Amino acid sequence: MSSTLIAGGVFVAFVLLTLAITIWASRRATSIDSFYAAEGKISGVGNGLAIAGDFISAATFLGLSGLTFIFGADMLVFAIGTTVGWALVLFLIAEPLRRMGRYTFAEAVSYRLSKGPIRVFAACGVLVVSTPYLVAQIVGSGTLVEALFGIDYKTAVIIAGVLLTVYVVIGGMIAATWIQIIKASLLIGGGTVLALLILASFNFDLGQMIAEAQAIHPLGDDLLAPRNYFANPGSAFSLGLALALGLAGFPHLMMRFFTVKSVKDARLSAVIAITINALFMLAVFIIGLGAIPLLAGKAQFFGTDGAMIGGANMVAIHSASVVGGALFLGFISAVAFATILAVVAGLTLAIASAVSHDIYATTLRKGKASQASEIMVSRIAVVATGCMTIGLGFLFEGQNVAVLAAIATSIAAAVNFPVLILAIYWRPLTTWGAVGGGAAGLIVSVVAIILGPDVWVKVFGFATAIFPYSYPTLAAVPAAFGVAIFGSLADKTKRGLMERGITNDQ
């Protein structure tokens, strides 16, 4: 049996399993509580696995192993950044968020402020942050399936888009959470086994593996030295800041803290996510380094032009084929695809809840919408998001997945994080200060990305970038904090003064 058939069989089995879970979940998702927040019944351990599953996406598993393969030790800046980001979520965000919100990110932000403008702003923030991340995932899924099975890219994107829509429309948060838990367990298990099998290829001698990698890599001994990926210190600090602060700005990650029953469970969720993230990053680092000597000289993984088939993002998949044969290749590729699917489902749910709960039910219907109509609007939003995702997947074919994901993280750090942290801890924050701060973060982010090297130079073809860094965080986060703080202090409107008075009474 060919490896493609085996891989296809494992993939179909996995999809059927997750669909069965979705149907099971749909019988439990009878209320609005269960659709958005799984009735707060997810355990701390289960939620920690689901959070880790939400974050360990195509960009993490496929993108970072590819980054290590090309640039070596600079990948560790990503690894530590995301782990520190989770730690900050645990220490500063998880507990108050669990106490403040019920279903959505916007509820937590608007807890002490005027609900209308904040909810509309926060819902827009959800859409702005989630869309590029969604595009990164769907482009990754199309590329993966295209390279693995020889299916046309557009067909692969349509399959992924339809599947995610079915998952979320039928099952809601319960289905999305259980798929994340199973997928995260399999991905973490599969990634660990892959790292161990790679190490076994070198008799578990890390020194030998590194020496062989350095002997054939263009960077030589500098493979484990810093500054191979980052063009300048500002880019490194900007990315580091984005990773450390951006996680708390991702609504699809933060709304998972509403699915547990207690603050203790919220803390446990974050600790599990930190541990899994840190250990998985080390496994990805080993996979990326080990792939250098493992794949060298194997013609089946390289095209006639000498480039790797599917690009560097396929390093982990090709390595699975070398060390584990067709069955393991099928398992890893199916889990990688399901990873993308599950992350997209979580993002879609975040967008759907922002549209149906924050904009439709609370802002437009002033809290008078029935539960049935709200769930109906949510499902329509899911279908619309699925269609939009497929369309954007076509449009962004061939784009770098890791860059798109990092840009989304930068925007999340600039738009959502400053407003969320000030809403929780800074009493004088007013509604217009929060809206102004978030808007400033968004505008500076977008302008800096357009004027930066990735768009201004690579897309528009200018010689030098006006904004020197790929990631806008260094400029956008201070701008968002500055406008939110000074805007609140300068807010002399009746509502602003009243809000500060109300806040002081709390």
Partner 1 sequence: MTEERWQPSRLALFLSAALSLSYLLYIAACMFLPDMMSQKLGAFSLAVIAAVVLLFANIIASVLYLFISNRNDDANDANDAKESQK
- Under the rule (CB under 8 A), what is the footprint of partner 1? 73-74, 76-77, 79-81, 83-84, 86-88, 90-92, 95-96, 99, 206-207, 210-211, 222, 224-227, 230, 232-233, 236-237, 240, 244, 263-264, 267-268, 270-271, 274-275, 278, 281-282, 424-425, 427, 506
**What DSSP assignment string belongs to 62-93?**
IIHHHHHHHHGGGHHHHHHHHHHHHHHIIIII
Residue with smaller CB distance to partner 1, 86 or 456: 86
- As measured in angstroms, the least distance from the Cβ of 136 to partner 1 is 24
Residue with smaller CB distance to partner 1, 96 or 437: 96
CB 238 within 8 A of CB 47: no
Residue with smaller CB distance to partner 1, 107 or 374: 107
- As measured in angstroms, the least distance from the Cβ of 197 to partner 1 is 20
CB 338 within 8 A of CB 313: no
Count the residues in the chain: 506
Q: Which residues are bridge partners to 260 per DSSP?
A: 42
Burial of residue 149, with CB atoms counted within 10 A of its CB: 0-12 exposed, 13-18 middle, 19 or more buried: middle
Residue with smaller CB distance to partner 1, 142 or 418: 418
Q: What is the dihedral of CA 45, 50, 51, 56, to 10 degrees?
A: 120
Can you read off the two tokens belonging to residue 147? 């390279």
Residue with smaller CB distance to partner 1, 237 or 302: 237
The whole-angstrom separation of Cα 366 and Cα 134 is 30
Residue with smaller CB distance to partner 1, 79 or 352: 79
Task: Please tell me the number of Cα atoms within 13 Å of 130 on its side-chain side.
Answer: 30
- As measured in angstroms, the least distance from the Cβ of 81 to partner 1 is 7
Instruction: Return the closest-CA partner of residue 109 out of 421, 410, 412.
Output: 421
- As measured in angstroms, the least distance from the Cβ of 205 to partner 1 is 9
Residue with smaller CB distance to partner 1, 209 or 338: 209
- As measured in angstroms, the least distance from the Cβ of 73 to partner 1 is 5
- As measured in angstroms, the least distance from the Cβ of 56 to partner 1 is 15
* C-beta neighbour count of 52 within 10 angstroms: 27
Q: What is the dihedral of CA 46, 49, 50, 51, to 10 degrees?
A: 120
Residue with smaller CB distance to partner 1, 366 or 427: 427
Q: Which residues are bridge partners to 302 per DSSP?
A: 308
* C-beta neighbour count of 12 within 10 angstroms: 11
Count of H-run helices and E-run strands, the chain: 21, 0
- As measured in angstroms, the least distance from the Cβ of 192 to partner 1 is 15
- As measured in angstroms, the least distance from the Cβ of 340 to partner 1 is 25
Locus of tokens 């060390």: 323
- As measured in angstroms, the least distance from the Cβ of 426 to partner 1 is 10
- As measured in angstroms, the least distance from the Cβ of 478 to partner 1 is 15
Q: Which helix (H) or strand (E) holds 183?
A: helix 153-201
The whole-angstrom separation of Cα 431 and Cα 221 is 54
Residue with smaller CB distance to partner 1, 24 or 111: 111
- As measured in angstroms, the least distance from the Cβ of 196 to partner 1 is 17
Burial of residue 476, with CB atoms counted within 10 A of its CB: 0-12 exposed, 13-18 middle, 19 or more buried: buried
Task: Please tell me the number of Cα atoms within 13 Å of 312 on its side-chain side.
Answer: 19
- As measured in angstroms, the least distance from the Cβ of 472 to partner 1 is 17
Residue 353 CA: distances (Å) to CA of 37, 373, 377, 480: 10, 13, 9, 25
The contacts of residue 106 (CB under 8 Å, 6+ apart) are 118, 119, 122, 123, 126, 354, 357, 358
Instruction: Return the closest-CA partner of residue 252 out of 67, 376, 405.
Output: 405
Can you read off the two tokens belonging to residue 378? 């949510």
Q: Which residues are bridge partners to 308 per DSSP?
A: 302
H helices of 202-262, in order, are: 206-216, 233-246, 251-254
Residue with smaller CB distance to partner 1, 356 or 430: 430
Residue with smaller CB distance to partner 1, 91 or 460: 91
Residue with smaller CB distance to partner 1, 341 or 423: 423
The whole-angstrom separation of Cα 331 and Cα 311 is 20
Residue with smaller CB distance to partner 1, 152 or 221: 221
- As measured in angstroms, the least distance from the Cβ of 86 to partner 1 is 8
